[in-house]
Structure 1
Amino acid sequence: MNPLATVADLGATAGHTILVDGVSFEVYAGEVTALVGASGSGKTTSALALLGQAGDGVTLTGRVEVAGQLVVDGNGPTTADVRGRVVAYMPQHPGSALNPARRIGTTLRELEKLHRGDVDEAVRAAQLPRTTLRRFPHQFSGGQRQRVALAQALTCRPNVLVLDEPSTGLDSITRLQLIHELRALAATGLGILLLSHDLGLVRALAGRVVILDAGRVVASGGVDVLPAAPEMPDRGTTTAGRPLLEAMSLSASLRPRGRDVVLENVDLSVRAGTCLGIVGRSGSGKTTLARCLAGLHERHTGRLLLDDVPLPVLRRRAREQNRRVQYVWQEVRGSFDERRPVDEQVARTAQRLRGLPPAQAHEEAQATLARLGVAAVTAARPPSRLSGGELQRAALARAVLAHPDVLIADEITTALDDHGTALVVDLLAELKDRGTALIWIGHDLGLVASVADEVLVLDAGRVVEQGPPATLTTDPRHPLTQALVAAATPHSPPVVSIDTRSEPRR
């Protein structure tokens, strides 16, 4: 059987820096080929070569052929145009693939006409409700935007589908359903190139695996070449501390006068030196809750208190209040200025909020970034030159340099492999030991349960269950919690179906 896509001896350089060196792999019809590796290992650069694309200042060499068309030859990209109908690419950060000024339906209908696709089929395969078509990208959670971007790619009806971290931001239930949908898509004859650090997803889908490290292939074969997942140490069960941040009867809406309610009467508190975990399905209101606590979502009612003092919205907060409550965004790329080096932006937090001189702030920034596995030479680049995982860790370092009393972390390990996740968990455990209150928002119930002292489960903007992680994972009472636990268990069957009538929430 001839491959749909062949990559042979691919090289990529940016100046004197080697990004990819001698990478080769094939993608076959009806199969999934997975590129696996740590952030910055060259996965995205290798995948974009199927489109004949590379970043600014990046030179491609080698040979790439897709559906009989030569896309890259020894002199670099050719004039072949394979994007869309031949190769569809879903980026790791879906915000970059969606037009914020246009409704989802308008974009998908145009792609349908251009590529003779089927919008209804694409929306169904991406597990999205029909109401998706009436909404704008900003009205969705990160996990929902991921699925919207997938629907956009599927509408093109490509021969080869490139998925860059497709499980990012998805809860365990939706992730399990994604596995079944991607298997079904491959069974139709679609060739899938999967880029992922999610080894469970790779094991469930891939027939061929290529492991990259520092731009080189270090192993290839079946799923047996994948490393075993390390055990995550239990970091929970802290009981010390006083109530620090509290929310009482917190409700929020997307539009004025309480229309499109996304949170309803949420109560929570987190003590100094403890971690509150917040889990739920994509679109359950987790990010809106985080933004309310950070002062970024102004259409809310209820009370927010920091040390028993009312906490206003961000634009009205004093600098010290801003320093004390820090928020790490779920989609971090948009929070960085592309015109300035990343390490400079990380250091700026310590200068602006703690008054450190530039040299000392830069030294702290480099040390914290190194602690998280981001080298100084990498951090000195602009944001576009960092991988999603590297930028995610840089965003965490930026917040940590404020020395906050409360750190709100929204899906901060979605772009990280096991090693990167362990580095993040170690740093946050150290902050917690120093008395920092952590609010960890995540879709991975197992990870959240391993670090949290209390877990709150959200469903459709309401708290449906709350308690110690050991209780929620061993004796869940609410159907959603039971479904999240079951879906997170290896080899478990699907436990729920998508309700296509429901309105998406953030």
Structure 2
Amino acid sequence: MNRSLVEVEDLRVEVAGRALLDGVGLRVHPGRVTALLGASGSGKTTTARALLGEYPDGARVTGRVTVPAGAVGFVPQQPAAVLNPARRVGALLRDLARLRGGGLPEVRRALARAQLDDPDEVLRRFPHQLSGGQQQRVVLAQALLLGARVLVADEPTTGQDALTKRRLVAELAALVRQGLGLLLLSHDLEVVRELADEVVLLRDGGVVAAGPAEQVLAALDDGPPRVPAAAPPRPVPARVPPALPVLTVRALDAVHPGGVRALHGVGLEVGPGECLALLGRSGSGKTTLGRCVAGLHDRYRGSVALDGRPLARSLRDRSRDELAAVQYVFQDARASFDEHRPVLDQVARPAVRLRGAGRAEAAHTARRLLAELGLPSSAAARRPAELSGGELQRAALARALAASPQVLVCDETTSGLDARTRHEVLEVLVALRERAGLALLLITHDLDAARALADRAAVLDGGRVVGAGSAARVLRRGAVGAAG
């Protein structure tokens, strides 16, 4: 075997007396894939960031991390965190290409290798005008432009439709064959089986299994599952559609700055206690539609109404009751939290600000919601940087629920969650629909989540609804092929 490009030996990372990692070791070799597995909070991202020399504030670090200077490219689970929101993608990537004597042809080639089908359109946009999946592929293109010899990919298939996921896996495999070393962090065992040569399994910051991929994965299949494969929650029983929808969207035409059309005449309705799944490939307009509903994107014609009353386009013009009534759970949970304040305080804030609850009552509500979603008080007392992406995703959902909304827009809420946590989150959403009459707009590539939650589904392509009907019928039809 070739000499390793990256070596991690007996790595321990401790913050305020709590061990995030304890004795972790791994190697990444040129032309090979090492996969890091483990539940949310097991230490995968902390290990990956150690390769970049990045540790939480106040961390006490022992052990050894050996990485050649400038050799590592990083594709984070929350890609918006490493993209400059004030610069168009084209300007950013051309600057990177110039560092290695390249130009626009090299930029277009890197975007194509990262599975972005329309490079020129992507180059004209700002990062916030891209879907989460497109942002992730732009960051991959950055790493390719900079000539990374080792790529750290944190959940690279999260938020990707099935077609893009297959193509991205094939491209990663091709890069590895050309000599790239890949450290893959993933909950997607199908992707791990396809790509990994070695697997390191983490639990509570320690290594519980390591070795050839076939051997470790076979042990997971044969023994008590350390990465649990929970069955999806029971589907919600079919119900008679409500006479009056709580959310109504009519003839929505949305544009991005510069006049780029994102939605074309979209209409939908969601009733109380009902779930509508929005399906479609990355960049099809799902997130833009959700943001219009929530008042986060105001460049549109048409109408968004709550209980038959038009909502202001911008959340800045909505009343406190209207803000509480429509809540949005972002795909990039980390970017939606203030890094300087404890998570519990931020989860409790909507109950104080939007519902007028006292601080003690709001804190009690926040603890209850976080516990229902599997996040203990000890974790909630920490700052966002001390939690994993999956833990923050659960906290973001709890924060939205603290406002007691009528409509909840979930943008890839199950992305980046291990199987057991994903199951718990879906069960909570099912219970809320049945108990509280919550109207749910579910933006997802997770077809199992759509089957478990959705009454109806709509498929978007190029900003248009190209298929709609009962979830069971749409998920059986070929129209959903691009979405899943």
TM-score normalised by the chain length of structure 2: 0.92
1 CA distance for matches of 2:89 and 2:406? 39
Question: Which residue of the partner structure matches residue 256 of structure 2?
Answer: 254
From 107, 121, 139, the equivalent of 1:119 is 107
Distance 1:405 1:134, change over 3 A: closer
- 1:271-291 deviation digits (Å, cap 9, x = unpaired): 111111001110111111001
Distance 1:116 1:198, change over 3 A: farther
Q: Give 1:373 shift.
A: 1.6
Question: Which residue of the partner structure matches residue 284 of structure 1?
Answer: 284
Question: Which residue of the partner structure matches residue 462 of structure 1?
Answer: 464
Residue 320 of structure 1 aligns to a residue whose secondary structure is helix
2 CA distance for matches of 1:293 and 1:51? 38
Q: Any conservation in 1 of the 2:284–2:463 contact (CA below 8 Å)?
A: yes
Question: Which residue of the partner structure matches residue 224 of structure 1?
Answer: 218
- 1:149-202 deviation digits (Å, cap 9, x = unpaired): 110111111221111111122111111111111110111011100011222221
Question: Which residue of the partner structure matches residue 211 of structure 1?
Answer: 201
Residue 51 of structure 1 aligns to a residue whose secondary structure is coil
Distance 1:188 1:231, change over 3 A: same
2 CA distance for matches of 1:40 and 1:51? 19
Distance 1:271 1:105, change over 3 A: same
Distance 1:483 1:347, change over 3 A: closer
Q: Any conservation in 2 of the 1:209–1:225 contact (CA below 8 Å)?
A: no
Q: Any conservation in 2 of the 1:238–1:273 contact (CA below 8 Å)?
A: no
Query: Is residue 2:416 matched to residue 1:422?
Result: no
Alignment of 1:80-479 (within 5 A): 82-83=69-70, 86-115=71-100, 118-128=106-116, 129-131=118-120, 132-221=122-211, 222=213, 223-226=217-220, 227=225, 229-240=229-240, 241-242=242-243, 243-255=245-257, 259-313=259-313, 314-434=315-435, 435-476=437-478, 478=479
Question: Which residue of the partner structure matches residue 79 of structure 1?
Answer: none
Q: Give 1:116 shift.
A: 5.7
Q: Any conservation in 1 of the 2:229–2:420 contact (CA below 8 Å)?
A: no
Residue 30 of structure 1 aligns to a residue whose secondary structure is coil
Give the AA of the match of 1:276. Answer: L
2 CA distance for matches of 1:150 and 1:171? 17
1 CA distance for matches of 2:32 and 2:347? 42
Residue 413 of structure 2 aligns to a residue whose secondary structure is coil
Question: Which residue of the partner structure matches residue 39 of structure 2?
Answer: 38
1 CA distance for matches of 2:410 and 2:350? 17
Give the AA of the match of 2:348. Answer: A
Q: Give 1:409 shift.
A: 0.8
Distance 1:109 1:315, change over 3 A: closer
2 CA distance for matches of 1:97 and 1:322? 29
2 CA distance for matches of 1:457 and 1:17? 45
Structure 1 residues not aligned, in runs of 5+: 68-81, 489-506
Residue 51 of structure 2 aligns to a residue whose secondary structure is helix
Q: Give 1:90 shift.
A: 1.5
Distance 1:386 1:116, change over 3 A: farther
Q: Give 1:459 shift.
A: 0.3
Give the AA of the match of 2:261. Answer: V
Question: Which residue of the partner structure matches residue 482 of structure 1?
Answer: 481
Aligned residues: 464
2 CA distance for matches of 1:482 and 1:15? 48
Q: Give 1:303 shift.
A: 2.1
Give the AA of the match of 1:125. Answer: R
2 CA distance for matches of 1:299 and 1:341? 34
Residue 458 of structure 1 aligns to a residue whose secondary structure is strand
Between stretches 419-428 and 57-66, larger displacement belongs to 57-66
Give the AA of the match of 1:452. Answer: A
Q: Give 1:237 shift.
A: 4.1
Structure 2 residues not aligned, in runs of 5+: none
Residue 391 of structure 1 aligns to a residue whose secondary structure is helix
Give the AA of the match of 1:42. Answer: G
2 CA distance for matches of 1:90 and 1:320? 39
Q: Give 1:400 shift.
A: 0.6
Give the AA of the match of 1:235. Answer: P
Q: Any conservation in 2 of the 1:91–1:164 contact (CA below 8 Å)?
A: yes
Q: Any conservation in 1 of the 2:279–2:458 contact (CA below 8 Å)?
A: yes
Give the AA of the match of 1:230. Answer: A
Question: For the aligned residues, what is the CA RMSD?
Answer: 1.8
1 CA distance for matches of 2:177 and 2:309? 58
Distance 1:225 1:97, change over 3 A: farther
Q: Any conservation in 2 of the 1:275–1:439 contact (CA below 8 Å)?
A: yes
- 1:199-220 deviation digits (Å, cap 9, x = unpaired): 2221221111111111001122
2 CA distance for matches of 1:248 and 1:135? 26
Give the AA of the match of 1:238. Answer: A
Between stretches 288-297 and 326-335, larger displacement belongs to 326-335
2 CA distance for matches of 1:177 and 1:304? 36
Give the AA of the match of 1:149. Answer: V
Q: Any conservation in 2 of the 1:279–1:457 contact (CA below 8 Å)?
A: yes
Distance 1:402 1:483, change over 3 A: closer
Q: Give 1:339 shift.
A: 2.5
Distance 1:417 1:400, change over 3 A: same
Q: Any conservation in 2 of the 1:449–1:455 contact (CA below 8 Å)?
A: no
Q: Any conservation in 1 of the 2:414–2:446 contact (CA below 8 Å)?
A: no
Distance 1:238 1:407, change over 3 A: farther
Give the AA of the match of 2:115. Answer: Q
Distance 1:49 1:116, change over 3 A: farther
Give the AA of the match of 2:91. Answer: T
Percent sequence identity over matched residues?
Answer: 50
1 CA distance for matches of 2:301 and 2:275? 24
